[in-house]
Amino acid sequence: MYRSPFGGTRAIAAAVVAVADHRLDEDEHAWIGKIEALKDELASHTDMAITFIDHGAGDPGDDVTTAEMARGRSVTRTLAEICRGAAIAYKWRLFLFRLVRLFKPSSCIELGTSLGISAAFQAAALELNEKGCLSTLEGSEALAAIAQGNFRRLGLERVRVRIGRFQDTLDRVLGEHAPVDYVFIDGHHDEEATIGYYEQMLPHLSNDALLIFDDILWYEGMQRAWKRLTNYRHVRVAVDLGEVGVCIMSKEASPMLRERYTLPFVGWSIKGRLRRARGSWLRNAVVRSLWG
Ligand SMILES: C[S@@+](CC[C@H](N)C(=O)[O-])C[C@H]1O[C@@H](n2cnc3c(N)ncnc32)[C@H](O)[C@@H]1O
């Protein structure tokens, strides 16, 4: 796992910049091209319907109850719809890829596999790092089977799908992976559930572990969850990138070392992003990464 005198903040900034520049070496380009081609193929299946059990919070305004989430709701979508609706956007896939390349975690977990697109990006980065493994958790057997097939087709050997509700599988996976260096949380976007998973993970994390939360703007509940998370004393660094929030943890948790940044990474223009950035340390780190 990456360690630096800047405690990883600079590496997050470097990841943002590398994504904005679309900076990829030949091997990285080859992996990403392969995964994107597979994703485009999945997205072309507009007539292949999949019925699966969804244990998530649904879309904003769905008002799914805790009991419904625990029981799961039967949902039917085409493969194209799942691909469009569930997979994290390209720039965030690249961002995850870049974080794994930079931080070189050994032990990684993802909550929310769906078709395995984000997992494939992170697992490809692990392949290129030549170290580390990823367990990705998915409640739907139907989706997990498709994801597993995708990993096989891509030749990704450092990723494994764990089938079952997070409520039932996370404990065991955490025990197997501890100390956990890296977690990407992209499922069950419910305020209390998100806080609950976070608290469950805490004792199993390595010092300097990286936690990435998707959809922190999804609806008020997720915005509150992100705010609550950033108030935990073990969150040393919290970077709000707009849709995605990144935390770097610390066992020492001194209030003196706390860093909080907002860098809405919504556009691709570096000038625009820097103008919007608050939190001068991160902005300076981005500038330094750009211009030495
Ligand atoms: C947004 S999708 C994940 C997308 C994927 N990370 C990507 O970017 O390619 C969320 C997934 O989490 C799963 N999920 C949601 N809540 C869950 C729970 N409580 N237990 C297990 N799986 C859950 C859903 O079935 C869905 O496939």
Ligand 1 pocket test target in 55, 66, 192 with most atoms within 8 Å of CB: 55
Where is pLDDT greater, at 41 or 255? Answer: 41
Q: Give the predicted TM-score (pTM) of the model.
A: 0.92
Contact 121 CB / ligand 1 (< 6 Å): no
Confidence of residue 270 (pLDDT cuts 50, 70, 90): very low
Question: Looking at the predicted structure, is the pLDDT value of residue 4 above 60?
Answer: no
Ligand 1 mean position to 77 CA, how many Å? 14
Find the range with the poorest average confidence among 28-32, 86-90, 121-125: 86-90
Ligand 1 mean position to 103 CA, how many Å? 24
Contacts 24+ apart (CB under 8 A), 126-131: 126/100, 126/158, 126/159, 127/31, 127/156, 127/157, 127/158, 128/27, 128/28, 128/31, 128/101, 129/100, 129/101, 129/104, 131/104, 131/106
Ligand 1 mean position to 260 CA, how many Å? 28
Question: Looking at the predicted structure, is the pLDDT value of residue 263 above 80?
Answer: no
Contact 114 CB / ligand 1 (< 6 Å): yes
Amino acid at 99: L
Ligand 1 mean position to 24 CA, how many Å? 28
Question: Looking at the predicted structure, is the pLDDT value of residue 148 above 60?
Answer: yes
pLDDT at residue 272, rounded to an integer: 44
Relative to the CA of 54, which ligand 1 atom is closest? 25
pLDDT at residue 122, rounded to an integer: 98
Confidence of residue 9 (pLDDT cuts 50, 70, 90): confident
Domains (ranges, CATH) in the chain? 9-22+89-291 (3.40.50.150), 38-84 (no CATH)
Contact 43 CB / ligand 1 (< 6 Å): no
CB distance 207 to 250 below 8 Å: yes
Contact 208 CB / ligand 1 (< 6 Å): no
Relative to the CA of 120, which ligand 1 atom is closest? 9
Residue nearest to atom 1 of ligand 1 (CA): 86
What is the average pLDDT score of the chain?
A: 88
Tokens 């392969």 -> residue:
34
CA angle 118, 121, 124 (to 5 degrees): 145
Ligand 1 mean position to 56 CA, how many Å? 7
* Residues facing 107 on adjacent strands: 133
Confidence of residue 226 (pLDDT cuts 50, 70, 90): very high
Amino acid at 28: E
Q: What are 120's two structure tokens?
A: 């494939």
Contact 146 CB / ligand 1 (< 6 Å): no
